[in-house]
Every structure is written in structure tokens, then in C-alpha cells.
Amino acid sequence: MPTCLITGASGGVASALAARLRAQGWRLALVGRDAARIDGTVKDVVIGSDVSSEAGAAQALAAATEAFGAPPDAVVNCAGAILIAPIGRTSEAQYRDCLAANLDSAFFVAKAYTAQLQPLKRAGSLLFFSSVAAGIGVANHAAIAIAKGGIEALTRSLAADFAGIGLRVNTIAPGLMETPATAKLVAAEASRKAIAAQYPLGRHGSADDAAALAAFLVSDDAGWISGQVVGLDGGFLAVRPYVRGS
């Protein structure tokens, strides 16, 4: 039975991924700062830990490894936070919190996971989440763009560092997905239509869109994919739709 540790496990994408992996026969360790908010099953390992710190990430990986009897076959870092604000209105505390939730969590989770795999020369799969804001300028996304851009660079670096043991490292870069964290952005019908109009395929994403891609990337079916940032954005970064004149 394959095993996977998922951080940020109380979030929409993590919950959708957990449901999909369970249905495929995976055993899961679900990690969040508040374990009481994680909607796991009796078969899941639920771990309360803040993975934005080195100690917290190490504790989460150690607990999962103890429960599984070996390091997880896959680790998916869904931990993160959204900050949409112009730079002039972004406080130092907001900036630090944004980097901690997104970039620091990715770094320390990777450090803890690779520390377990390397002595065993054991392969695995490590998956992060970025954003379209790291690939194109999007207004009022300065802090989150820095954090997600760092994750994309980290992906390539780690893929090079650990290719020798067979660790695959990839990142999904989604556009806006409808989750509890983005509920306010798509609450009004006018907002939903305006956001959908930005995407060539005519809609924003869903948590299950991300879960489907994540489940593939950690599976053996993606066994020759590493060091990649995979867009999940309805064509946002790659396509310029044809617009008819009035």
C-alpha cells in the first residue's frame, strides 16, 4: 500500500487530494497546525504540526515515518496562504507570514523528507504548489509571487540534488481555484464571471482539478517526470484567445 504525507491538510485542495488517494488505496498522514480541523478517517494518521518551521516539519515527517514504518512514498506540501495586496499596503508581518506559510514550509518539508530518504538511498516523490503569479505579472500579488517563484526555483534545485536516489520533485502552478480560502473572491456572481473571463477555457479551477493532477504526479504513472512546473490554469499563461472586434 503506497503512503503519502499531505501538509496543509485542512485546506480544500489537500482534502480533495486525500479523498482521491484514499480511493486509489493509499495510506495517508495528514498534517496541519490544528489537528482538530483535519477531516481524516480512522485509517489516516493525523498530525498536528506547523511545517513552516524546521522543527515542525521534522516532527511531522518523523511521526508519519513511525506510523508507516518507513518514510512516505510521496509528500505533497499543500501548506500555504494567499495574500493579495499592493506592496504599499503589505505590512512586514504580512510579508513574513506569507513567505513562512508558502516558501518556508516547502523548504523545511523538503529538508525533513530528503534527510530521511538520502541515507536509505530511497526514491520518492515530492510535490509543491506554486501559482500563475510566479510566471506572469499579476497586479497586487508581490509577496505571493516572491514566495511561489522561490518554490519553482527550489523544485529545480532539489530535482537536481536528489535525482541520484530517484526522488522526483515537481510543482503545480494553478490559476485561481475555488476553495474555502478563495471563497470571498468568487462569492458574488459578477466576480465569478469576471474571474472566469480571464481564463481561455472560460472558468476558474476547482480543488478537484488540482487533486487529479497531484494524484497523477505522485503516482508511478509519472515516473519519468521531475524538475517540472506544471501549469494548471485553463490556458492562462500559454494561450492568447482570439477576440472578435465589436
CA distance 226 to 222: 9
pLDDT in tens, the chain (246 residues): 999 999 999 999 999 999 999 999 999 999 999 999 999 999 999 999 999 999 999 999 999 999 999 999 999 999 999 999 999 999 999 999 999 999 999 999 999 999 999 999 999 999 999 999 999 999 999 999 999 999 999 999 999 999 999 999 999 999 988 777 766 766 667 777 877 788 888 888 899 999 999 999 999 999 999 999 999 999 999 998 776 665
Contact (Cβ atoms closer than 8 angstroms) between residue 194 and residue 137: no
> Going by DSSP bridges, is the β-strand pair 167-174/74-77 parallel, antiparallel, or unpaired?
unpaired
What does each C-alpha distance from 48 to 7, 8, 64, 141, 244 come to in angstroms? Answer: 10, 10, 11, 29, 53
* DSSP structure string for 214-228: HHHHTSGGGTT--S-
Distances (CA, A) of 119 to 27, 71, 222: 23, 11, 24
Tell me phi and psi for residue 229, to 5 degrees: -105, 110
Which domains occur in the chain, in start order?
3-175+209-231 (3.40.50.720)
DSSP annotation string for 124-155: EEEEEE--GGGTS--TT-HHHHHHHHHHHHHH
β-pairing, 205-206 vs 124-129, is unpaired
